[in-house]
Amino acid sequence: MTEFVDGWNIVGVLGEGAFGDVKLLECPDQGSFVAMKCVDMGRHPGAAADVRKEIAVHRLLDHRNVLKYIGHRTVGPVDYIFLEYAPNGELFDRIEPDIGMAVPMARRLFGELLCGLEYLHGRGIAHRDIKPENLLLGVGDTLKISDFGLATVFRHHGRERLLDRACGTLPYAAPEVLSGGPYRGDHADLWSAGIVLVAMLTGELPWDKADVETSPEFAAWTGLDTGRLPPLLCRLEPDALCLVRAMLCAKPEARLKLQAVLSSRWMRVKDLSVLNVAVGTDCDDLDGDDMKDRIKRPRRLTCSQPVADVALLQSPVRALLPCSTQPNSNLLLDSQQCLATQQSSAPLHLILRRMTRFVVPCDVDETLSLLERVAAAQGMIAHRLSMTNVANASNTVPMPPSATVVGRDRRNARLELRVTVLAQENEADQTELRGKQDEDEDVEKENRSRSSNTKARCLLDFRLSRGDGLEFKRTFLRLKEGFAKLAAPIRSAVAWPS
Task: Report DSSP letters for 268-293, one per residue.
Answer: T---TTTS-PPTT--GGGS-GGGHHH
Could you tell me the CA-to-CA distances from 397 to 5, 57, 71, 310, 446 in Å, in that order? 14, 30, 22, 30, 35
Q: 441: pLDDT confidence band, cut at 50, 70 and 90?
A: low
**pLDDT over 80 (residue 18):** no
Q: What type of residue sits at position 375?
A: A
Instruction: For residues 389 and 400, give the distance between their C-alpha atoms in angstroms, rounded to a whole number.
Output: 8
Phi/psi-derived region of residue 76, left when phi > 0, alpha when psi is between -120 and 50, beta in every other case? left
Amino acid identity, position 17? G
Residue-level pLDDT at 429: 45
Report which DSSP code applies to 66: B
Q: Given a cut of 90, is residue 86 above it in pLDDT?
A: yes
Please tell me the distance from the alpha carbon of residue 205 to that of residue 331, in angstroms, as a whole number.
36
- Rounded to an integer, the average pLDDT of 58-71 is 96
The arithmetic mean of pLDDT across residues 188-212, rounded, is 96
271 is catalytic: no
Looking at residues 66-72, what average pLDDT do you find?
Answer: 96
Query: Which residue out of 40, 129, 189, 461 is catalytically annotated?
Result: 129
Residue with the larger pLDDT of the pair 311 and 174: 174
User: Is 37 annotated in some ligand binding site?
Assistant: yes
Predicted structure pTM score? 0.81
* CA gap 358, 376 in Å, rounded: 19
Q: What is the DSSP letter of 436?
A: H
Is 10 within 8 Å of 18 (Cβ atoms)? no
Q: What 3-state DSSP class applies to 348?
A: helix
pLDDT in the model for residue 311: 35
Half-sphere exposure (Cβ direction) of 316: Cα atoms closer than 13 Å: 25
Average the pLDDT over 287-300 and give the result: 49
**DSSP string for residues in 175-213:** HHHHTTS-B-HHHHHHHHHHHHHHHHHHSS-S-SSS-TT
- 484's enclosing H/E stretch is helix 469-487
Q: Which CATH superfamily is domain 91-296 in?
A: Transferase(Phosphotransferase) domain 1 (1.10.510.10)
Select the more confidently predicted residue: 31 or 199.
199
Confidence of residue 366 (pLDDT cuts 50, 70, 90): very high
Q: What pLDDT does 232 receive?
A: 84
Please check the confidence at residue 251 and state whether its pLDDT lies above 90: yes
Query: What count of other Cβ atoms lies within 10 Å of the Cβ of residue 66?
Result: 23
User: CATH number of the domain at 2-85+302-346, out of 3.20.20.70, 3.30.70.100, 3.40.50.300, 3.30.200.20?
Assistant: 3.30.200.20
The highest-level CATH class for domain 354-492 is alpha beta
Q: Is it the case that residue 391 has pLDDT exceeding 90?
A: no
**The pLDDT value given to residue 351:** 59
What percentage of the chain carries pLDDT values higher than 90?
56
Domain boundaries, the chain: 2-85+302-346, 91-296, 354-492
pLDDT at 276 over 80: no
Q: How many helices (H) and strands (E) does the chain have?
A: 16, 20
